[in-house]
Structure 1
Amino acid sequence: MLDSPDILPVRVPLATEPLGVFGTLRAGRRNVLELIPEIATHAPIISGVTGKRWHMVMDPEALKRILRDKVEEYPKSDVTKLILEPGIGKSMFVAEGQEWLWQRRTAAPVFSHRNVAALAPVMTAAATRAVARIGGTVGRAVDVFDEMVTATFEVISDVTFSGGGGFDRDAIHKSIESYISQTAKVSFLDVIGAPTWLPRPSRMLSQSGVREMKRVADGAIERRKAEGGPEIPDLLDLMMEGADPKSGRRMTTAELRDNLLTFIVAGHETTALTLAWSLYLCAFDQTVQERARAEARGVLGDRAAVAADVAALPYIRQVVDEALRMYPPAAFLSRTARAADELCGREVRRGDTVILPIYALHRHHKLWPDPDRFDPDRFAGGYKGERFAYLPFGDGPRICIGANFALQEAVIILATLLARFRFDPVRGRDPKPVMILTLRPEGGVWLQATPV
């Protein structure tokens, strides 16, 4: 561990006084998590008015009500839809009601355990390439976040559009980065609850990148329909073959594109973040890293991990789970109440914004002992706490459809890297947790990698 046991991993400075409308706007554009009051790590619910009424919910029973029991009465907020729809349209991540349901039923078999395991060789190959790249940085600092973005983008683009004929990886990646950096920032109109039909100028800047992203994806889908797919089906093949078991409805090119772009945008970014934060935490606590490396080397020796190894790497999985607790990629969710309700004895009116601050939930003092401390043993034998106190992938019927895919990928890549390298922190270059669309390490995660 670093010099003193009292030193904790980097943490977001939560609000200690009311922000007001303009303070909320500044914090939201700088780091969405700075909108969370420090008291949220102790209280079950906090309410207020900033342009419109809002409630911040950290109570597991209330979260169960929002995410499972009354999920249709708490759809994604208007701001969430304004941010996401330009890039991923009416995909299952944004759609509501029956429009969501048929898409979910169609896509669920795609992410079965069998199909996810069949895609593992792509993850193993990406892990092997990451080892080679990081091996070339020995003697100097390496931004492991950048390396993990490269690795996970290779995975998601290969399992989505394998073969890559006509699929411009660089164009898609550039468009995604532009989309996240420009579209996802909170605007003044969002803060005051202005109608959704009023244009947000900052989001209009990214439209050319979004159009290019959709154009490239549409072209790849049409070529696949005309020319056929690879010998081993990828996600595009599986989605094209899929049909709603109730209605028989199949996805159009636009629906396929929006859902595949959802998988690409969400799938590579969130797993890259999980891996980068896991490596940061392992560098922060060398005792944990040595234990994880011993497990990885005991199972793998000098080879890269494969799907069959995942069950034999429980401590590596614990490190991943704890990284997801401390730095959840989807760290701040919001819903709009569709009907009057009551949460924790608090009145919720139709139209109120209901915020799920997953970052605060995962560091809540009544739910987690010493919550700011890095301790993978919290997850020894699997998570045993309250069901709705740990929500890295959400929960209820809208739980992340790709959770098993992401966890398999994270364990394969992390185990492969830890078996080959020792990672040490670079003094003075601690990452800064900043959330725009996801919880990113601003400035990167700079570590020193030494072969072992």
Structure 2
Amino acid sequence: MPAPAPDNVSGLGVLTRLRRNGFAAFPSRCFQEQVVSLRALGRSLVLASGPDAVQAVLATDAASFQRLRMGRRVLGPIVGEGILVSEGETWRRQRKAMAPAFTPRVVPTLARHIASCADASLPVVEVCRPVDVFALTQTLALDIAAVTMFSMTSASFGAALRQMVTGFMNGIGQPRPSDFLLPSAVPSVADWRRARFRKQWVKLIGAIVAERPVIGDGESPRDLFDLLTQAFGEKDGVPGQAVLDEVATMIVAGHETTATALFWAVWLLAHAPHWQDAVAREVREVDLSPSGAAEALERLPITTAVVKEALRLFPPAFMTGREATADTELCGQRVAKGAMILLPLWMLHRNPALWAVPERFDPNRFLGGVEPPRFTFLPFGAGPHVCIGAQLAMTEAVLVLARMVQLFAISVVDGEAVLPVGVLSTRPERSVPFRFLRRAQA
């Protein structure tokens, strides 16, 4: 892991470090103290990293907090007014509209789509040259998102979309101290650049939607896009901005987080051959074809545990934030109205008081029917704003990882360390080459 911030770091120091890497922004004393209070240019900044503090902010006292305005400023250019940044009645309406697409009854359909995309991409991986697994998982996750959302492939737009998302994450998507500290009405230099990005991004999303094939009678929804259109409406056959914003949200949140989770799961298995062998034995006789994928999920407890342990060590959503809407208390400490609260969820996942040998990769933590206490493991958040696509993300990660290990024995080409970089998600610091060898039974 990157070195932590010094224990005497200032609030401004934390915000400055967040631009480079959220895994290096927080002091190690956050492991011992539930709440750390700092100042940043006159603003109150609270670091809440203990389970009781996180539970209060996200769940039991959630009404006293709202999403950080910084989130709208940084993420708005790419998700618009989508569910990731909305609040209040707008958020409730969006959540209600999208809920039918993420209920357990849709899992069999989603599992078929996931297995079909995996079967189209994984067997043709070239084993004679190093494989860039992150690029592979990004492409595959985007293909799955395109099928489940648009009933189409990503062949025509995948490269352009990945390029724009990566450019955003490595540039104007990195939060600056000004994003936290400036009033919403005061623009920064980054905001001007984000506005230019927004125009190009909206144009790309509109082009993707325009390519979507017209299939069926138009009455029964066949994918997420149909559900969104029915919920938010369209004019003269053209979806409104609300639909486009939710489409962008699902593309970014869906494909980026799953791609990073899969990368880290593969990286961990490549460094833990005995666990990779355990997964290989588990999946050897399992039908992971489109017709068998849904039923296969119950037969993959080890693969599921590996994914959960990867999410513990390298959660894609490594941090979240809130703003106090009233004077309140947090674990006995006063929190003033307007205070910014940062919740480094990755520190919750690696706290030695909550996990035995927390730096160790050990999927046994999630086997044998054992589940960690609720507010010690939060890869998908908690409370009212818990990730609506959590079940879809787990289904996708488990089925793709299972199929990958069923087909290939995976090892690393070099033994160099790879640090996680937390900006908007948890990406690897560099491109990592892997060696794929086809398994005899595949």
CA gap of 1:185–1:165, structure 2 versus 1, over 3 A, is: closer
Q: Distance in 2 between matches of 1:55 and 1:352?
A: 7
How far off its partner does 1:449 sit?
Answer: 1.4
SS at match of 1:447: strand
* Cα deviation 1:256-300 (Å, max 9, x = unaligned): 111111110010000001110000110111111100111011324
When structure 1 is superposed on structure 2, of 415-424 and 123-132 the one drifting more is: 123-132
2:5 equivalent in structure 1: 15
Percent of matched pairs sharing the same residue: 30
* Cα deviation 1:212-231 (Å, max 9, x = unaligned): 32223335546769876899
From 161, 177, 185, the equivalent of 1:172 is 161
2:92 equivalent in structure 1: 101
Q: Which amino acid aligns with 2:22?
A: V
Instruction: Give yes or no for the alignment of 1:37 onto 2:27.
Output: yes
Maintained 8 Å contact 2:99/2:388: yes
Q: Distance in 2 between matches of 1:23 and 1:74?
A: 23
Q: Distance in 2 between matches of 1:166 and 1:279?
A: 24
CA gap of 1:334–1:428, structure 2 versus 1, over 3 A, is: same
Maintained 8 Å contact 1:303/1:416: no
Maintained 8 Å contact 2:114/2:400: yes
Considering only aligned residues, what root-mean-square deviation do their CA atoms show, in Å?
A: 2.7
Maintained 8 Å contact 1:33/1:332: no
* Cα deviation 1:108-142 (Å, max 9, x = unaligned): 111112223212222112212332343x133x322
From 107, 115, 137, the equivalent of 1:148 is 137
CA gap of 1:116–1:237, structure 2 versus 1, over 3 A, is: farther
SS at match of 1:329: coil
From 180, 196, 209, the equivalent of 1:208 is 196
Instruction: Give yes or no for the alignment of 1:432 onto 2:419.
Output: yes
Equivalent runs, 1:373-412 vs 2, <5 Å: 373-382=360-369, 384-412=371-399
CA gap of 1:14–1:166, structure 2 versus 1, over 3 A, is: closer
From 194, 197, 206, the equivalent of 1:218 is 206
How far off its partner does 1:30 sit?
Answer: 1.7
CA gap of 1:295–1:226, structure 2 versus 1, over 3 A, is: closer
From 61, 64, 67, the equivalent of 1:70 is 61
- Aligned residue pairs total 433
CA gap of 1:20–1:188, structure 2 versus 1, over 3 A, is: same
CA gap of 1:166–1:330, structure 2 versus 1, over 3 A, is: closer
Maintained 8 Å contact 1:77/1:335: yes
CA gap of 1:424–1:129, structure 2 versus 1, over 3 A, is: same
Maintained 8 Å contact 1:293/1:419: yes
Q: Which amino acid aligns with 1:137?
A: V
Maintained 8 Å contact 1:333/1:357: yes
1:339 equivalent in structure 2: 326
Q: Which amino acid aligns with 1:99?
A: T
Maintained 8 Å contact 2:411/2:434: yes
Q: Distance in 1 between matches of 2:202 and 2:423?
A: 22
2:39 equivalent in structure 1: 49
How far off its partner does 1:232 sit?
Answer: 7.8
From 110, 123, 126, the equivalent of 2:114 is 123
SS at match of 1:91: coil
2:72 equivalent in structure 1: 81
Q: Distance in 2 between matches of 1:74 and 1:332?
A: 16
1:248 equivalent in structure 2: none
Q: Distance in 1 between matches of 2:208 and 2:289?
A: 37
Q: Distance in 2 between matches of 1:213 and 1:269?
A: 16
1:284 equivalent in structure 2: 271
Instruction: Give yes or no for the alignment of 1:160 onto 2:154.
Output: no
Q: Distance in 2 between matches of 1:431 and 1:25?
A: 24
Q: Distance in 1 between matches of 2:370 and 2:322?
A: 26
Q: Which amino acid aligns with 2:182?
A: A
Q: Distance in 2 between matches of 1:279 and 1:431?
A: 13
How far off its partner does 1:431 sit?
Answer: 1.9
Maintained 8 Å contact 1:229/1:237: no
1:264 equivalent in structure 2: 251
Q: Which amino acid aligns with 2:224?
A: L
* Cα deviation 1:145-167 (Å, max 9, x = unaligned): 11100110111122212235997
Equivalent runs, 1:275-354 vs 2, <5 Å: 275-300=262-287, 306-354=293-341
When structure 1 is superposed on structure 2, of 298-307 and 200-209 the one drifting more is: 298-307
Q: Distance in 2 between matches of 1:133 and 1:430?
A: 28
Gaps of 5+ in 2: none
Q: Distance in 2 between matches of 1:14 and 1:116?
A: 40
Q: Distance in 2 between matches of 1:348 and 1:232?
A: 46
Q: Which amino acid aligns with 2:100?
A: P
From 77, 91, 116, the equivalent of 2:82 is 91
Q: Which amino acid aligns with 1:361?
A: L
Maintained 8 Å contact 2:65/2:325: yes
Maintained 8 Å contact 1:14/1:34: yes
Maintained 8 Å contact 2:324/2:336: yes
Using the size of structure 1 for normalisation, the TM-score is 0.88
When structure 1 is superposed on structure 2, of 29-38 and 254-263 the one drifting more is: 29-38
Q: Distance in 1 between matches of 2:132 and 2:292?
A: 22
How far off its partner does 1:331 sit?
Answer: 0.3
Gaps of 5+ in 1: 1-10, 245-250
Using the size of structure 2 for normalisation, the TM-score is 0.90
1:362 equivalent in structure 2: 349
Q: Which amino acid aligns with 1:407?
A: M
Q: Which amino acid aligns with 2:116?
A: A
Q: Distance in 2 between matches of 1:111 and 1:368?
A: 31
1:183 equivalent in structure 2: 172
Maintained 8 Å contact 1:44/1:59: yes
* Cα deviation 1:331-352 (Å, max 9, x = unaligned): 0111111111111111100011
Maintained 8 Å contact 2:232/2:240: no
